[in-house]
Amino acid sequence: FFYFVVTSGGGGHVQSLIIGAVLVILGIQVVLGSFFGLALAKNRQLIEDVIYSQRRQRFESAWPLAEASQVSAAASETTATEEEVSPVLPQE
């Protein structure tokens, strides 16, 4: 556009300037939207990791109480397998 303004007065090229400006603005919005999407995805992943860690801590803190009763039951029954004695993490 600026080339045409200098060389021929720019008549008839204002539409190109407007279309170019609109496309540049749309391009910037797409890039910003992609950064926003990446930030949301990483945030979701971090929250899932925190929730998993909290559940694991809660389960492991309750494990010593359950371990004593399961170990005594396993000692009384010689046919107890490791699956019956070992804990399973809760699934959602």
In tens, the pLDDT along 53-90 reads 999 988 888 766 555 555 555 555 555 455 555 555 55
Mean pLDDT of 6-17: 72
- Is it the case that residue 14 has pLDDT exceeding 70? yes
Mean confidence (pLDDT) of the chain: 76
Q: What percent of the chain has pLDDT over 70?
A: 55
Extents of the domains making up the chain: 2-85
The Cα 79–Cα 82 span in angstroms is 10
pTM: 0.49
Burial of 13 (0-12, 13-18, 19+ CB in 10 A): middle
Q: SS3 string of 47-71?
A: HHHHHHHHHHHHHHHHHHHHHHHHH
Provide CB contacts within 8 A for 85, sequence distance 6+. 70, 71, 74
